[in-house]
Structure 1
Amino acid sequence: MYKLLIVDDEPQILEGMKRTLDWEKYGFGCIETSETADDAISKAVAIYPDIAIFDICIGKDRGYEAISKLNGLGLPTKYIIMSGYNEFEYAREAIRCGVKDYLLKPVNRSKLQEVVEKIIVEDLHGTLEGTSDVNLDPVLGVRYDSLSKLTNHILLTVKTEYEQNITLKMVAEQFRMNGTYLGQIFLKETKMKFSEYVMAYRMLKARERILSTDDKIASIAHSVGYSNLGYFYTHFHAYFDKSPSDLRR
């Protein structure tokens, strides 16, 4: 059973975060909330949360300062910062405290889900077996528990970093492995090259945003990791056999 602590000085935000994910399916049997930094520190020391989500500004206090204090106490908690401010200074301080991710408000459900899944698998050494709605990989169509732990880690890395210029070499460096060897392992288990998987995952995310938003195609292309709009159109048409505009009609 995992324990979760959510910290924000706005009660409606706390309630919203409690409903954003089906925490019970992820194995969270204890969910505590706090509206002040002092209370958050007290509750964290009392329950030792596995994951704690802190707002960057808790009244006059700063979430990263509370996290720094808890780090000093040696808690094994994994931290996520959420913020309504896209400020470099805030993000830098959060990184110094070792937070797992920095999410902008309003917190995107899919992004939060990806971060939580990655923490569960990589840091808490758990599985996603109980989460029936996320137990099948959207590209491979196979259960996550049918794949090796290494491949699961690679898939979760793609899910959390696909918006960036992610490459097999970068992933291999994270795992301190040879890129060619890692690519061979991934291909053998998934029957797909790493680059093919990344492209397919980006296409699925693009389709999701095209159908659920009115954002411009160029903006969507950029949001899924394409700096070249021409490449995006080429890949999209090859994958879905139709253009982004045709899909939206």
Structure 2
Amino acid sequence: MYKLLIVDDEPQILEGMKRSLDWEKYGFGRIETSETYEGAISKAVEFLPDLAIFDVCIGKYRGYDAINKLNELRLPSKYIIMSGYGDFKYALEAIRCGAKDYLLKPVDRTQLQQVVEKIIVEDLNGTLQGVERDDLDTDPVLGMRYDGLSKLTNRILLIVKAEYAQNLTLKSVAERFRMNGTYLGQLFLKETQMKFSEYLMAYRMLRARERIQSTDEKIVSIALSVGYPNLNYFYSHFHAFFDKSPSDMRRKE
């Protein structure tokens, strides 16, 4: 049985994460929580979790600092960072400390499930009934395995995953890498066969579809949550991508 540690300084978030998945179904027989940095370090050293989920902000401390500390202690745990901020610096720190993924709050259940399943199969050498390993290691838009993509492209995909709800552009991404936007766009297109803007739109559409199918949120709220302040623009892209309206998809699904 696996062991899970969830760290967040908000008790309601801890309870929500404990209920977000059927953890027992995935083989987690023990779940511990902590609201403090010190408590997280202590509990992690005490029971050696197979998976630990850290909020990026734990009071005045940072979740990635706690992960770096545990890495120094050579704990065998795998880590996920969650955050209410889409700031690139947090996503970058998540990469640096070796976190397996960076999830934005409110954490999307489907995304969390996919990440947990991937960690179980890829890192914990577990098995999942009816889950194919290739599916877990394949980008949902590109249909390509992550390990077949360059480090630069994987970093760009991580930025999109972390900040798709914001006003994200190729130019803003290129500035972070101190690269020319046109050149970066050409590299991305050559490797993925998609323009950056096309990938971003497709990723937003997939996230929107997940919310439409799994929640009762109003369409206008879903549009905002995936980076579309203009509802008409969202409807236009959604219909072009899925050949049906958001309302039709909700009724038929």
Same fold (TM over 0.5): yes
Name 2:246's counterpart in structure 1.
Answer: 244
The size of the alignment, in residue pairs, is: 217
CA 1:246/1:219 → structure 2, altered by over 3 Å: closer, same or farther? Answer: same
Name 2:196's counterpart in structure 1.
Answer: 194
CA 1:187/1:149 → structure 2, altered by over 3 Å: closer, same or farther? Answer: same
CA 1:53/1:179 → structure 2, altered by over 3 Å: closer, same or farther? Answer: same
Q: Is the 8 A contact 1:14 1:33 kept in 2?
A: no
Over aligned residues, Cα RMSD in angstroms?
4.7
Q: Aligned partners of 2:35, 2:217: CA distance in 1, in Å? A: 37
Alignment of 1:37-56 (within 5 A): 37=36, 39-44=39-44, 52-54=52-54
Amino acid at match of 1:244: P
Q: Secondary structure at the match of 1:6?
A: strand
CA 1:212/1:222 → structure 2, altered by over 3 Å: closer, same or farther? Answer: same
Alignment counterpart, residue 206 of structure 2, candidates 204, 207, 214: 204
Deviates more, 1:180-189 or 1:202-211: 202-211
Name 1:33's counterpart in structure 2.
Answer: 32
CA deviation map 1:72-131 (0-9, x unaligned): x9555878467xxx8x9xxxxxx8xx78968656x43245468889xxxxxxxxxxxx95
Q: Aligned partners of 1:246, 1:169: CA distance in 2, in Å? A: 35
CA 1:228/1:34 → structure 2, altered by over 3 Å: closer, same or farther? Answer: closer
Name 1:146's counterpart in structure 2.
Answer: 148
Q: Aligned partners of 1:163, 1:55: CA distance in 2, in Å? A: 19
CA 1:148/1:22 → structure 2, altered by over 3 Å: closer, same or farther? Answer: farther
Give the TM-score normalised by the residue count of structure 2.
0.62
Q: Is the 8 A contact 2:7 2:35 kept in 1?
A: yes
Name 2:76's counterpart in structure 1.
Answer: none
Query: Structure 2, unaligned stretches of length 5 or more?
Result: 73-78, 118-131
Structure 1 residue 227: Cα displacement: 0.7
Name 1:59's counterpart in structure 2.
Answer: none
Q: Aligned partners of 1:21, 1:169: CA distance in 2, in Å? A: 44
Alignment of 1:1-249 (within 5 A): 5-7=5-7, 16=19, 19=22, 33-35=32-34, 37=36, 39-44=39-44, 52-54=52-54, 63-65=58-60, 74-76=69-71, 80=81, 104=105, 107-110=107-110, 112=112, 131-249=133-251
Query: Structure 1, unaligned stretches of length 5 or more?
Result: 57-61, 89-94, 118-129
CA deviation map 1:11-31 (0-9, x unaligned): 96675478559989xxxx9x8
Structure 1 residue 228: Cα displacement: 0.8
